[in-house]
C-alpha cells in the first residue's frame, strides 16, 4: 500500500517497538531476566506486565481502496473517503 497511511500509525509503531524489545529480551542471558531476591519481579515479568497494560491488541486488518488509494478497514463494504462500493474480501 504505497502512499497510504495506516488508520492508527502511532499504535502500529508501538507494536513494532514492542516486537523489537521482545526480540532483544529473548537474547538476554536467563539470569538477567529471572526473578531473584533483589528483584522480586524479573525483567521479563515486568515487561509482560507493561505490554499487557498497553493493551495494543493485534494489528487491525486493512485494505486500500482501488479507486482513491486511501486505507480503510478490511471488512468495509464502502470506502470511507470516496464512498466507492468495495467488493467483499475472502
Determine the pLDDT at residue 45: 82
Query: Would you state the pLDDT for residue 65?
Result: 96
Cell (9 digits) for 37: 531476591
Contact of 79 with 70, CB cutoff 8 Å: yes
DSSP reduced 3-state for 62:
strand
Instruction: Tell me the C-alpha distance between 53 and 18, whole Å.
Output: 12
Q: Where would I find the beta strands (DSSP E) of 1-48?
A: none
pLDDT over 60 (residue 42):
yes
Q: How far apart are CA 1 and CA 36, in angstroms?
A: 47
Three-state secondary structure call for residue 63: strand
Per-residue pLDDT of 16-35, as tens digits, reads 999 999 998 888 777 665 66
pLDDT at residue 84 tops 90: yes
pLDDT at 36 exceeding the cut of 80: no
pTM: 0.58
List the chain domain ranges: 1-59, 60-90
Q: Give the pLDDT confidence of 45-79 residue by residue, as tens digits.
A: 888 899 999 999 888 899 999 999 999 999 999 99
For residue 51, is it left (φ>0), alpha (ψ between -120 and 50) or beta? Answer: alpha
Amino acid at each position: 500500500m504505497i502512499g497510504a497511511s495506516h488508520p492508527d500509525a502511532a499504535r502500529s509503531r508501538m507494536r513494532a517497538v514492542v516486537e523489537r524489545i521482545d526480540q532483544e529480551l529473548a537474547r538476554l542471558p536467563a539470569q538477567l531476566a529471572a526473578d531473584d531476591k533483589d528483584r522480586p519481579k524479573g525483567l521479563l515479568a515486568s515487561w509482560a506486565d507493561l505490554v499487557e497494560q498497553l493493551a495494543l491488541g493485534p494489528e487491525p486488518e486493512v485494505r486500500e481502496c482501488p479507486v482513491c488509494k486511501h486505507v480503510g478497514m478490511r471488512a468495509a463494504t464502502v470506502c470511507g473517503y470516496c464512498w466507492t462500493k468495495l467488493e467483499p474480501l475472502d
